[in-house]
Amino acid sequence: MPYRRKFLKRAGYTTLSALLTMGFLQKDRQKEDGSTNAATANYLSASANVNSPLRQLAAAKGKLYGAAVSSEFLLQEKGYADLIARECSIVTPNGELKWNATEPQPGKFTFESADAIAGFCQKHNIQLHGHTLFWHMGKPDWLPYPPTLKMLERHIKGVMGHYRNSPVLKSWDIANEIIADSENETDNATYGLRKGVKRELIRDLFLIAASVDNTKKFYLNDFGIEGATWKSDRFLKMVEYLKNSDVKIDGAGIQSHLWFSTAYGFDKKGFNSVLKRLNDLQVKPIITELDIIIDAPLPDSIKKLDQMVADSYKRYLDLCFAAGVDTVITWGITDRHTWIRHPDWMPGKTFRNNPSLWKFLRPLPFDENLQPKLARNAIAQAFQQAT
């Protein structure tokens, strides 16, 4: 199965039925036309400064809000660049710091597009999250997975070295998506690592990174860990192993490519236990790639869909903030550029072969015209209510 299909299959298990159980959408349901409802009114009449930039609302609580950005759009679309500058206090490069971008030929490093983002960050006082030094995708064809230790050393020195004195780059996803998607795809029952990856290699990766630049925050980043799953259990075991090996690991990136549906439930209890275990291990959970898809059965209007997306954001972020999460990064900011609408990544089953449904893929806080959606207000309100 291609990565994207597998990814989406695994990533999607979060839901609205849990929200219904919690009464969050009950009032919406009683309305016959579903148009205006309690939750909408709630977001719109939230305190006057709900329209303040998200970065400002986040900062008021000592938190960061940001998005994945692309250098191409920052350069070409003024409205997009202005929106990022206004709303974000942290950004992640969509692809500009991946191995295929930074070391396309062995030992030959290029930072033009990543530096364009870093320059933008400096101009607008935005932090840069370094994504990523180690991944099985976004890599040049010549590079094996996993790479040899020698290749890893050269790469980490080259890339981290380049940003050692950067005033904006403050954190690195040292390793991304090292846990296999299921137990059939690993040779390692305990840690569930992708085939060929050994726990010691990951430990060495963190050690090399610390030897190059230990002034940044170091994260292990993954998806499909937003609940009590086979995968989250393995992920937590790896985090524990790294902690016990005395390597520098500051946090865990919980990607949060979430699917909600009235047809299946969100594992609130499981998610809370993941957050708690990370906190107990003193490994800070942050949200690195949040976006929300509503899965079938789809509502009969975009308005209702946007409401469901917004409510899902609110409910999810409430749980995150209750556990002390201080950084929320959405995977993009506008539905115009969401990866989920790209032909290569279009989600299977419900959407892939149904072009008439693609308009229901509205996972981000701003719409195609860069206008704020209810989801933006939901995020704003979650920040405002965070303690």
To the nearest whole angstrom, how small is the minimum distance from the Cβ of residue 223 to ligand 9MR?
6
Tokens, residue 243? 């902690």
Q: What is the DSSP letter of 105?
A: B
Q: Among all chains, which residue has been given the structure tokens 């400064």?
A: 49
Question: Residue 291 interacts with ligand 9MR (CB under 6 A)?
Answer: no
Question: Residue 339 interacts with ligand 9MR (CB under 6 A)?
Answer: yes
Question: Residue 143 interacts with ligand 9MR (CB under 6 A)?
Answer: no
Read off φ and ψ for residue 324, nearest 5 degrees: 85, 10
Pairing, β 127-131 against β 90-93: parallel
| b/e sequence 66-90, b meaning 16+ C-beta within 10 Å | bbbbbbebbeebeebbebbbebbbb
To the nearest whole angstrom, how small is the minimum distance from the Cβ of residue 10 to ligand 9MR?
11
Residue 120 near residue 78, CB atoms below 8 Å: no
Tell which one of 53, 95, 299, 372 touches ligand 9MR (CB under 6 A).
95
Question: Residue 94 interacts with ligand 9MR (CB under 6 A)?
Answer: yes
Residues 120-139, interacting with ligand 9MR (CB under 6 A)? 137-138
Q: At what angle do helices 302-322 and 268-280 cross, to 10 degrees?
A: 30
Question: From residue 100, how far is each of 212, 214, 223 by CA, in Å?
Answer: 21, 24, 21
Question: Residue 98 interacts with ligand 9MR (CB under 6 A)?
Answer: yes
Q: With CB under 6 A as the contact rule, which of the stretches 56-64, 93-101, 182-190, 194-202 interacts with ligand 9MR?
A: 93-101
Tokens, residue 62? 């000592």
To the nearest whole angstrom, how small is the minimum distance from the Cβ of residue 255 to ligand 9MR?
6
Q: With CB under 6 A as the contact rule, which of the stretches 94-102, 196-204, 297-305, 361-369 interacts with ligand 9MR?
A: 94-102
Residues 2-61, interacting with ligand 9MR (CB under 6 A)? none
Question: Residue 348 interacts with ligand 9MR (CB under 6 A)?
Answer: no
Tell which one of 289, 295, 311, 335 touches ligand 9MR (CB under 6 A).
289
Pairing, β 169-176 against β 217-222: parallel
Closest to ligand 9MR by CB, 314 or 337:
337
To the nearest whole angstrom, how small is the minimum distance from the Cβ of residue 339 to ligand 9MR?
4
DSSP track, 45-66: TS-GGGGS-HHHHHHTTT-EEE
- Which residues are near ligand 9MR by CB under 6 A? 94-95, 98, 137-138, 176, 223, 255, 289, 339
